[in-house]
Amino acid sequence: MIDIFDLARTQGFVEGRMPFGEMGRARTALRDVSGSIGFRFDGRIDARGRPAGVLHLHGELPLTCDRCGRPVSLPLERTVEFYFVTEEADVAAHPVSVDEEPEPLLGSTQFDLQALVEDEAILSIPLSPRHVECPVPDTDADAVTRDGAPNPFAALQGLLHKNGR
C-alpha cells in the first residue's frame, strides 16, 4: 500500500516485479504461475494540476493457444496513464471514452498498487490467445491434455497425415 497523493506530489516512483502466483484473478488465464511481470509506476502532477501517474508493465504472459492448445508466450508492454480523485462520485462522473484520455482512479493514502498492476495485466490478456502460426506436432506429447487426460483431438492429426494433408 502506498500514499498515491504523496507519490504524485513528490514525483516519486515505485518499481518491482509481481509474481503471477500472487495474482489471484489472473491466475486462471495463465498456463504457468511460476513467473512474474515487471512494473514501474511514476507519480506526477498532470497538466491540469491533478495528482496522476503512469504505469508501465513489461514481461511475457504464459498463455495457452486457443487454436492448438500448446503453450504460447505473449509479450506484455503496456503503458497506461491515470489521474487520481478523492471522491467515488468523481470517478463515476467521468464519461467512458475510447480515446487516449487518462482514466480517473479513486486515490488514497493506502492505495493498492498491486491490484492496479493485476488489473492492467488482466486487460492485456487477449480474449483468444494464439500463435501467429501454430507449431506442427512432432511427438506423442499431444496425445494428452495438460491435466494428463487423453486428448480427444490427438487422432485428428494422424488422420490428416494419413489422407495426404
C-beta of residue 8 within 8 angstroms of C-beta of residue 43: yes
CA dist 155 and 90 (Å) reads: 57
Q: For residue 26, which of 57, 69, 67 has the smallest C-alpha distance?
A: 57
State the DSSP H helix or E strand holding residue 58, giving kind and residue range, or none if neither.
strand 51-64
Residues 6+ apart with CB under 8 A from 69: 142, 145, 146, 151, 153
Tens digit of each residue's pLDDT, the chain (165 residues):
899 999 999 999 999 999 999 999 988 889 999 999 999 999 999 999 999 999 999 999 999 998 888 999 999 999 999 999 988 877 777 666 656 778 888 899 999 999 999 999 999 999 999 988 887 765 555 555 666 666 666 666 656 555 555
- CA dihedral for 25, 92, 50, 10, sign (positive or negative): negative
Report the predicted TM-score, pTM, of the whole model to 2 decimal places: 0.75
Residues 6+ apart with CB under 8 A from 139: none
CA distances from 92 to 5, 50, 99, 100, 126 (A): 20, 17, 17, 18, 27
Q: How far is CA 13 from the centre of its chain?
A: 20
